[in-house]
Amino acid sequence: MAGAKMTKTKISDVSSKFVRYHKKNPAWGSLHIVMEDSNWESTYGLDEWAKELGDKEGVLLAKILQGMDSREIQKLSAVIERLESGEKLSPEEQDAELHCEWCGGEVDDDGDCLKSYCKGNG
Ligand SMILES: [Zn+2]
């Protein structure tokens, strides 16, 4: 077990909200720059932007994104895509740590594999 982490936003707690919003806003509405354009770090001012557009739900979701780091948002986006494709994911599966897609090993904060010889490294 890794050391105790600060309580973070659980993806399984928020994923259905994002799926619902995406259904109503196919181009991700006021969250477009982050969720549609994959700018995982561009959450600054996102809630203000949603507010300006009069998008109340967008404000709430923007605040959720602002409480997450870029890696978590990227992971959230991947989970949303899987849910939208009809996959049934348990909360545990949604909250699972990211693993290297090549070797299944550990990855760093950027999602790069820790094994120097692995294709997923860098
Ligand atoms: Zn790897």
Distance in Å, CA 4 to ligand 1 centroid = 25
- pLDDT at position 7, please? 65
- pLDDT at position 6, please? 55
Closest CA to 13 of 71, 72, 70, 59: 72
Q: For the chain, which residues make up each domain, given as ranges?
A: 12-95
Closest CA to 33 of 62, 1, 4: 62
- pLDDT at position 63, please? 97
- pLDDT at position 46, please? 97
Q: What pairs with residue 32 in β-bridges? A: none
67 with 61: CB under 8 angstroms?
A: no
Q: What is the mean pLDDT of each run of 10 residues along the chain (122 residues)?
A: 61 97 97 96 96 98 95 92 94 85 80 88 80
Chain position carrying tokens 């959720």? 64
72 with 109: CB under 8 angstroms?
A: no
The pTM for the full model equals 0.77
Distance in Å, CA 113 to ligand 1 centroid = 4
How far is Cα 104 from Cα 16, in angstroms, rounded to an integer? Answer: 26
